Structures are given as structure tokens and as C-alpha cells.
Structure 1
Amino acid sequence: MYLGIDLGTSEIKAVLLDGDNRPLASAGAALDVSRPRPGWAEQDPEDWWRAACAAVAKLREQAPAALAATRAVGLSGQMHGAVLLDNRDRVLRPAILWNDLRSVAECAELTAAAPRLHAVAGNLAMPGFTAPKLRWLARHEPEGFRAVATVLLPKDYLRLRLSGDKITDTSDASGTLWLDVGRRDWSEELLDAGGLSRRQMPRLVEGLAPAGRLSPAAAAAWGIARPPLIAGGAGDGAASAVGIGAIAPGDGFLSLGTSGVIFVVDDRFRPNPAQALHAFCHALPRRWSLMSVMLSAASCLRWFCRLAGVDEATLLTEIERLCPAELSAAPVFLPYLSGERTPHNDPFAPGAFWGLSQAHGRAALGYAVLEGVAFGMADGLDALRAAGAAPRALSLVGGGARSPFWAQLLADALDTEILTHQGGEACAALGAARLGWLADGGDLGVVCVKPSPRTLHAPDPARLQALQARLRHFRALYQARPPSLAETLI
């Protein structure tokens, strides 16, 4: 048995996988994001630990014997977060998350201080990445910065609690701007530009490598008979790729979670920061990835449901009842609730509804939200195509994969076949479990098989044509937007 744990932004998911590649049980525990100031996003690492323990406790209720037989654990998690520890491994402050915007000025400073940043790290300096957060800390919380003995990424804080080891993997480390992504090692040059050193970094391993072992106390608390291995694990995108079987060059998937990602596998490091694309290490040796990222995807739907006082299932049912004329007359929604990465690299890009009238009800606005996210994904896919990455079909994973209507809308807006798979909403946790299996000696060809498609959504030519006019309007609205109020508040 193999246990996979995915530390997301809104939820921790846990999956138990057997030796026949079948998920036996899954569970989750919700998380909240603290926003103490406009543009800020933080979480308490202790909340991650409590949620992880709660999710595993639910697995224990479902399948106690299977959990007890766990041979290895894999970890996946939200990338870029800064978990800051002192010399006694105590957390110094709440973790600053991937969707935090406070370090805009520090991005420009880092780029100036490290002229080879783009070539070495493979990415533009953006506020979501880890390195600008530490520059912000040095300026605004200097005592805290001086006390930093170790910087961990979110999933690796869980590893520390489970085993006492300070280890990360190359895929997750790719999102720090401290990694030489081509060499798959920490860059002394980039660390020095941020006033840091290798001794403050965790040890690096590949995602499928053994990276510690559960302590006897943690194993006993979780109901596991013998302390299992812990795999290196992966950032959430690379873990989802392993979960969906995207391991060969050209394989790709679309993740519709809190953020939105289109991930394409490559066998070479080919950075393309001019398109605001991310070039990261994959979770597997000698594999890299090229990714487009939008900062708000399924989180836009959750946000609107809270405002409208409706649950997602009810809203989706109302949307599906809209006729074609109502869809064409819906408002246009810009999904930039946390700024945007690909293709704009604009932390101040604002969200907006345009074209509202008294004729619009919540279903029309809900449709606009789904469509706006699909259009943001279309922008990302265009950037990937311009960089030479053109997958013929995309597997759909993440929480948004639960909606057939949204899947078809994505196929129509992207003019690309969209495949859904059983269990796609927990793909990162499944990928983490598979990495645990590989660390335990599993064969790559056996472990990382592609799951059978549940549904195939082919583009509808009529809807594709209708959406193209709205997509042009969507793009024009971004170009014509006034300055965001957030720009004056951060």
C-alpha cells in the first residue's frame, strides 16, 4: 500500500493506492487562507499538519488494514510558499503563499541583482515565487530575515513533522528562483543575489528517490504498522503529471484547481520566459516541463458561489439550463482575482464583469465565470503553442474536472480534445502515492500508466466559432482596463 498526500491551498487530499494501481480510499480536510492585507495570502503551517492528520484519520476509518500496511508515503503540494524556520526548527511567521502579491518591487530588484536569472532559473521573477518573498522579508521584517536558518516549501514542512528531515525535490525547488533548473541543483549565484546560502536550503533529491522515513511516533499515530519510506515527492503540477501518466515528451494535462495550469512534458530544459511560461524540472529524472499558469481558476467559481449564496452543484445545474442565446448574451468575466501570470505577468490585473444588465441572473454570471477561466486557459495554450509545445489532447484534472459542462466548454474554447479520468479531481495525491511506490522500487512503466479515459470532449465547431468572438472581446477588455485599485494598496 502507498499513501499519497497533496497539500493544496484550499484542501489537503490523501489517497491510498494498492499494488495493482487502484485507489482504495481517499479523504480530504479543508484549509483556509488568511489575507491580513490587500494582496497578501498566508497560511499557518500548523494548520497544514492538523489537516494532514485529519485526512489520514479519515482514511484510517475507511481502510484501517490497508493504511496499516503502507510501505511508502509520497508528498505533493502547492508550490512557491515560504516556510521560515529558526535554528531550532520553529516556524518564524505564517507561510507566505504562491498567490501573494506583496513582493512586486522585489521582483525587479532580484532581476537586476541576478542578470542570468532567466537563463539559470528558467523563469521570470514573479511575486508568487519564493525568492522575492525573502527579499521582501529582508526589507520589511529584517529581524525575522536574520533569524531564518532554513527555508522549506509547504509539502516539505509536512516531511519535517513526519521524519525530522529537511529535504525537497527538484520539481518543487524549481519554483523558488534559487535552482539551476538545467543542472537540477541549487545555484550559488541566485542564492547569493538574495542574501542566502546553500546551508539554509533543504537537501535536494529527485521526486522518486527515498527521502527519509516516517518516525515511529508518526507511524503509530497514523495507524501504520512499520515506519514507511517517504519519497522525494513533487510540486502539485509534477505530481499531477505522474498521477495522469504524463511522463513522456509531449504528454500534457490541464489542471483546474485553485489555480489553472497547462503542463507539457519535455526531455530538455527549454526556458521561454518571454511568454511568461514556467520551465521546471519534472518529478522524474531527465524530464522537464513547460507550463502556463493562471492564478485563479476553480477558485473563481468558489468565490462567485460564496457571493451568490449558492452551492456549486446547484449553480452548475442552473448554468446548464441556459439556452444558446442566453450564453451568447452573458457578461464577459476577467478571472484575474489574484493578478495573472501567463501570458501577462501582471500582478495587478483585475477581475471584472463587463456588460451587466438587469436581464442577467446568477446563472448568466456563473456561466461568465466558467467561460472567463476557459478563456484564460486559451491564452495559456496559445503561449505554449507559440513556444513550440502543442499537445493534441489534454487530460483534465483537479476539482474542476467534476463538471462535464466545464470540460466541454474548455474543449470548445481551446479547440482541443479534453479527456477526463476517474479520480482526476485528486490526481496530485495519486501522483504522490505513485512516487512513493517508485521510491519503494516500483517499475516506472508499471506504476505510471495512463488511466483509461472516462469521457472525451471534442470541440464543437459551432460553439468554437461563437466563442471566438467572445474571446476577442475578452482579450480587448484586458488591454483596455483601467489601473487596478490594488496597485495603490500594496
Structure 2
Amino acid sequence: MYLGIDLGTSAVKTALVDDTQRVVANRSHPIETLSPHSGHSEQDPRQWIEAAFATPDALKADHPRELAAVEGIGLSGQMHGATLLDADHKPLRPCIIWNDGRAVAECRLLEERWPGLRSATGNKAMPGFTAPKLLWIAAHEPEIFAATKLVLQPKAYLRLILSGEAIEDVSDASGSLWLDVTRRDWSDEGLAATGLSRAQMPRLVEGCAPATRLTRELAQRWGMTKQPAIAGGAGDNPAGAVGIGAIRPGSAFISLGTSGALLTPTDAVAANPERVVHTFCHAIPGMWLQAGAILSAASCLTWAARLFGASEAELLAPLGQRPQAPSPVSFLPYLSGERTPHDDPDVRGLLDGLDHGTDRSAIMQAVLEGVAFALADCRDALASAGIKVAEADVIGGGSRSPFWLAVLANVLRVPIHRFADGETGAAFGAARLGRLAVTGETITSVCTPPRRITTFEPDRALSEAYAARLIEWRKLYRPGH
């Protein structure tokens, strides 16, 4: 038995997986995000631990025998967060998470201090990454910066609590802007540019490697017969790639979680930071992920549900299974700024084309289309790096909506595939990494694609209508507005 724990933005999701790769059970526990100022986004690390412990607690109550047999644990998590710890490994402040936009000036400063940043990291300095946040802390909270003895991303902090050791995998580390992605090692030059050193960084491992073990106390708490090995694990999107077997060049997938991304594995770095194409190490040794990333995807549905005072299911049901034509309303999904291709943390969302006849369904369809158009921008950015997307699998909570997947197929003009358990992709991928850390099996024998249950094919006439609408949609973007 294997356990995959995904520390997401809105919840911790845990999957219990057996030796046949069947998901025996899933459990989830919510997480709250705080915004003390406009453009700021933070979470309390103590809440992560409460949520992460609550899920195995629930599994023990319902599946004690299966949980007792767990041999390996894999961790996945939201990337880019800055968790600052003191000499006793206690958090000094709330974690500044991935969609925080405060460190704009610090990005410019970091690139001035480190001219080789883009060539080393394969990325452009953006406020969401970890390194600029540390420069912001140094400038605005110098006493906290001075007390910082260890900097961890969210998943690594969870591992510290689970095992007592500070360890990070290279996929998550490449989202920090301190990793040389080709060498898969910390850059001393990059660390020095932010006033840090290797002494304040966790030890690095590959995602499928055994990293440490669960503490004896926690193994006893969850009734486990042994102290399971904990794998290196992965950032959420690399873990999702492992979960759907996206481990070879030529495959592509879309993540429709709180944020969104269009990703494809490569066997060499194919960076294009000028078009805001992200480069991350894959959780698989010798592989990388190239990605276009958007800051708001399924979170746009959450926003709409709050706006209309209805559940997401109630809002989506009237739309049916597929669109007949583009909505007369247009939506820019930039609720917390945008990454690919704009790198604009100050831009905000927009509804355009409203009139007296506009109803809720027209707005909801526009919300889904706006996210799809943003992913079309990601597709074109990847194309500028020489990467063509011919088809794509979809994971994340948004994959539950057939209407949304039909929109994506027609906007991107490629077949879109859905899996049976696509919304638990990252936790399932983490469980696979936990298995590899224990068994030493070949990666290809474990990381196989799950069965696709539905394929959404583009319709020629509808795709052409969306292509025309995409041209007009792009005209709505105004930098910083």
C-alpha cells in the first residue's frame, strides 16, 4: 500500500493506493488563504499540518487495515511558497504563496544582481517565485529575514514535520529561482543574490528517490506496521504528470486546479523565459517540464459561485454537455494577475459585453471560455519554444466538467482526454513516487497512463468561431488594468 499526500492551495488531498494502482480511498481537508493586503496571498503553515494529519486520521477510521500496510509515502504540493523558519524550525511568519504579487520591484532587482538568472533557471523572475519574496522580506521585514535559518517550500515543510528532515525534490526546487535546472542543483550565485547560502536550503533529491522515513510517533498514530519510506515527491504539476504517465516527450496535459497550466515533458531544457514559458525539472530523472501557467483556473468558478450565491454544480448544470456557440460575454480570468504570456501581477479580471439580456449561464460560459483562451495563450507561448501540442489530457478539479473540456477542445483545436480520477492526479502521482522509492521498479512500468474514459474532439465550425473570438478576446488585455 502507498500513500500520496498533495498539499494544494485549497485543500490537502490524500490518496491510498494499493499494489495494483487502484485508489482504495481519498480524503480531503480544506485550507484557507489569507489576503492581508491587495495582491498579497498567504497561508498559515500550521493549517497545512492540521489538514495533512486530518486526512490519514480519517483513513485510519475507515480503512485501518489498508493504512497499516503502507510502505511508501509520496508528497506533492503547491509550488513557489516561501516558508521561513527560525533556528528551532518554527515558522517566523505566514507563508507567502505562489499567487502573491507583491515582489514586482524585487524581480527587477534580482535580475540586476544575477544577470545569468534566466540561463541558469530557465525562467524569468516573477513575483510568484520564491526568490523575489525573500528580497521583499529583506526590505520590508528585515528582522524576520535576519532570523531566517531555513527556507522551505510548502511540501518540504510538511516533510520536515513528517520526518524531522529538511529535504526538497528538484522539481519543486526549480520553482524557487535558486536551482540551476540543467545541473539540478542549487545555484550559489542565485542564493548569494538574495543574501542566502546553501546552509539555509534543504538537501536535494530526485522525486522518485527514497528521501527519509516517517517518524515512529506518526507511524504509531496511524497504526502503520512499519515506518514508511518518504520519497522525494514533486511539485503539484510534476506529480500530476507522473500520475497520468506524462513522462515522455510529445505528451501534453492541462492542469485545471486553483491555477491552470499547459505542460509537456522534454528530455532537454527548452526554455523561453521571454514568452514566460516556465522550465521545471520533472520528478523523473533526466527529464524536464515546459509549461505555460495561468494564475486563475478553477478558482474562477469559486469566485463565480461566491458572486452568485450558488454552488459550482448549480452554475454548471444549465450549460449542458457542450457549447453551441461562443458566449456573447467575454471574461478575462486575471483575478490575481497573470503569468504566461503577460507576466503582469497587477492586471485584473474583466467581464465584457454585458447587456440587459445577459443571464447567469452566459456569464458562466464566458468564465470557462476565458480560462480556455488563457490556455490558448500558453499553447502559443510553448509553440514559440518549438513545442507543438497535438492532444492533451486534463487533470484537476476542473476536469469534472464535460462542458469545459468541450470548450477546451474547440478553443485549442486538439482532442482533449479525461480520466476516471483526474481530479486526484497529483496525490495519485505522489503515491506512485512513494512506490518507486520503496520497490526500485522501473519508472515506465509504474508510471503508465490510466484509462481515458472520454475524448472531446473539436468541431470544425465551432473551432473557427472560437478562433475568431480569441482574436477579439486578446484585444481586451491592457497591461496593469
Give the TM-score range, shorter chain: over 0.9
Q: Distance in 2 between matches of 1:44 and 1:482?
A: 32
Deviation at 1:321, TM superposition (A): 8.4
2:323–2:406: 8 Å Cα contact kept in structure 1? no
Q: 1:121 to 1:329 in 2, by over 3 A?
A: closer
Match of 1:33 in 2: 33
Does the CA contact (< 8 Å) of 1:53 and 1:222 recur in 2? Answer: no
CA deviations on 1:227-258 (whole Å, 9 max, x unpaired) are 10000000001000000000111221100000
Worse-matched range after superposition: 196-205 or 356-365: 356-365
Instruction: Describe how 1:195-214 pairs up with structure 2 within 5 A.
Output: 195-214=195-214
The answer to whether the aligner puts 1:366 opposite 2:364 as a matched pair is: yes
Q: Distance in 1 between matches of 2:400 and 2:327?
A: 26
Contact 1:301 1:369 in 2 (8 A): yes
Q: Distance in 1 between matches of 2:322 and 2:53?
A: 42
Q: How far did residue 442 of structure 1 move?
A: 2.8
Correspondence 1:436 to 2:434: yes
Query: Residues 369-389 of structure 1: CA distance to partner in whole angstroms, max 9, x if unpaired?
Result: 000000001110111112111
* CA shift in 2, pair 1:360/1:186, >3 Å: same
For residue 113 of structure 1, what is the aligned residue in structure 2? 113
Which residue in the other structure is 1:393 paired with? 391
Could you report, residue by residue, the CA deviation over 1:248-299 in whole angstroms, capped at 9, with x for unpaired residues? 1122110000010111000012211011010110001100110000000010
The C-alpha deviation readout for 1:16-45, integer Å capped at 9, x for no partner, is 111111111111111110000000000000
Q: What is the aligned partner in structure 2 of residue 248 from structure 1?
A: 248
**TM-score, normalization: structure 1?**
0.96
Partner of 2:124: 124
- When residues 24 and 347 of structure 1 are mapped into structure 2, their CA distance, relative to the original with a 3 A threshold, is same
Give the conservation status (yes or no) of the 8 Å contact 2:271–2:385.
Answer: no
**Aligned twin of 1:487:** none
Counterparts of 2:114 and 2:137 in 1: how far apart (Å)?
A: 18
- How do 1:188-267 and structure 2 match up within 5 A? 188-267=188-267
2:16 maps to which residue?
16
- Alignment pair present for 1:136 and 2:140: no
Percent of aligned positions with the same letter in both sequences?
53
For 1:336, the aligned partner's letter is Y
**Structure 1 stretch 435-444 or stretch 43-52: which is displaced more?**
435-444
Q: Distance in 2 between matches of 1:385 and 1:468?
A: 17
Amino acid at match of 2:95: A
Q: Conserved in 2, the CA contact under 8 Å of 1:322 and 1:363?
A: no
Alignment of 1:36-75 (within 5 A): 36-75=36-75
Give CA-to-partner distance per residue, 1:357-409, whole Å, 9 cap, x none: 11011111111100000000111011111211113211100000001110111
Asked if 1 retains the 8 angstrom alpha-carbon contact of 2:214 and 2:230, the reply is yes
Supply the AA of the counterpart residue of 2:135.
R
Give the gaps of 5 or more residues in structure 1.
485-490
Report the secondary structure of 1:307's partner residue. helix
Label 1:149 to 1:470 Cα distance change in 2 as closer, same or farther (>3 A).
same
Q: Give the Cα–Cα distance (whole angstroms) in 2 for the partners of residues 262 and 350 of structure 1.
A: 21
2:465 aligns with: 466
Corresponding position of 1:332: 330
Q: CA deviation at 1:226?
A: 1.1
5+ long unaligned stretches in structure 2: none
CA offset at residue 206 of structure 1? 0.3
Q: Is the 8 A contact 2:13 2:26 kept in 1?
A: yes
SS state at 1:76 partner: strand
3-state SS in 2 of match to 1:224: coil
1:130-169 to 2 correspondences below 5 Å:
130-169=130-169
Task: Show the 5 A alignment for 1:413-432.
Answer: 413-432=411-430
User: How big is the shift at 1:444?
Assistant: 1.4
Counterpart of 1:249 in 2: which secondary structure?
Answer: coil
- d(CA) in 1 for partners of 2:479, 2:21: 51
Query: Match for 1:451: what amino acid?
Result: P
Structure 2 CA distance for aligned equivalents of residues 474 and 270 of structure 1: 28
| Contact 2:149–2:200 (8 Å) recurs in 1 | yes
Match of 2:403 in 1: 405
The residue aligned with 1:297 is 297
Q: Distance in 1 between matches of 2:163 and 2:323?
A: 55
Equivalences for 1:316-327 in 2 at 5 Å? 316-320=316-320, 324=324, 327=325
Specify the code of the residue in structure 2 equivalent to 1:355. G
Instruction: Name the stretch that deviates more: 108-117 or 389-398.
Output: 389-398
Q: 1:259-298 to 2 correspondence within 5 Å?
A: 259-298=259-298
Q: Which residue of 2 aligns with 1:488?
A: none
User: Aligned residue for 2:444?
Assistant: 445
- What is the aligned-residue RMSD (CA, Å)? 1.2
Once residues 482 and 95 of structure 1 are traced to their aligned partners in structure 2, the CA distance between those partners, rounded to angstroms, is: 28
SS at match of 2:475: helix
TM-score (norm: length of structure 2): 0.98
Q: How far did residue 221 of structure 1 move?
A: 1.5
Q: Which amino acid aligns with 2:435?
A: W
Query: Cα distance, 1:483 vs. partner?
Result: 4.4
Give distance in 2, aligned partners of 1:430 and 1:20.
Answer: 13
Question: Matched residues in 2 for 1:469 and 1:26: separation?
Answer: 42
Kept after mapping to 1: 8 A contact 2:337/2:347: yes
Counterparts in 2 of 1:472-487, with a 5 A limit? 472-478=471-477, 481=478, 483-484=480-481
CA-to-partner distance for each residue in 1:178-219, whole Å, 9 max, x for gaps? 001100000001000110000000000000111110001011
Does the CA-based 8 Å contact 1:330-1:367 persist in structure 2? no
The one-letter amino acid paired with 2:409 is A
CA contact (8 A) 2:327 2:365 kept: no
Amino acid at match of 2:268: R
Alpha carbons 1:43, 1:96 under 8 Å: kept: yes
Cα offset for 1:473?
1.1
SS of the equivalent of 1:477 reads: coil
